[in-house]
């Protein structure tokens, strides 16, 4: 459970950096912190549950497309986390399109790696 909370924390910081840097991502809701927490919660749940299975199933396609399939899967999961947080909690991060999600995914990956290295997660 501690590992999941650490992952949730790092994803919250990464989502905050993504929203701060990208004009194509917008916080929806009354509280910025709650919006980031809800979006990061669904990102952490997706990353812990269905993402590994989908990446394994899509491995042949990922190899054939030189990684583009993995990129598309990550974008779909970011959009799914955005939709779930907005639908269930009525607060979250709205991503305005596919390319904003691609750029946001790269930002979240870099920030998540840096924060994970700092806190030792």
What is the total count of domains within the chain?
1
- How far is 45 from 28, CA to CA, in rounded Å? 20
- Those residues with Cβ within 8 angstroms of residue 95's Cβ, 6 or more apart along the chain or in another chain: 24, 25, 78, 79, 82, 101, 104
Per-residue pLDDT at 121: 67
| pLDDT tens track, the chain, 121 positions | 788 998 999 999 999 999 999 999 999 998 999 999 999 999 999 999 999 999 999 999 999 999 899 989 999 999 999 999 999 999 999 999 999 999 999 999 999 999 999 988 6
Check: pTM over 0.85? Answer yes or no. yes
**Residue 92: in which H helix or E strand, if any?**
strand 92-95
What residues make up the domain containing 26?
2-119
């Amino acid at each position: 459970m501690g590992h999941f909370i650490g992952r949730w924390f790092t994803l919250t910081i990464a989502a905050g950096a993504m929203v701060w840097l990208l004009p194509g991502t917008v916080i929806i809701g009354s509280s910025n912190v709650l919006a980031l927490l809800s979006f990061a919660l669904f990102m952490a749940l997706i990353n812990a549950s269905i993402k590994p299975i989908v990446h394994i199933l899509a491995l042949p396609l990922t190899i054939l497309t030189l990684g583009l399939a993995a990129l598309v899967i990550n974008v779909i999961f970011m959009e799914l986390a955005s939709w779930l947080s907005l639908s269930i909690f009525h607060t979250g991060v709205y991503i305005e399109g596919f390319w904003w999600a691609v750029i946001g995914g790269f930002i979240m990956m870099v920030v998540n790696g840096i924060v994970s290295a700092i806190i030792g997660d």
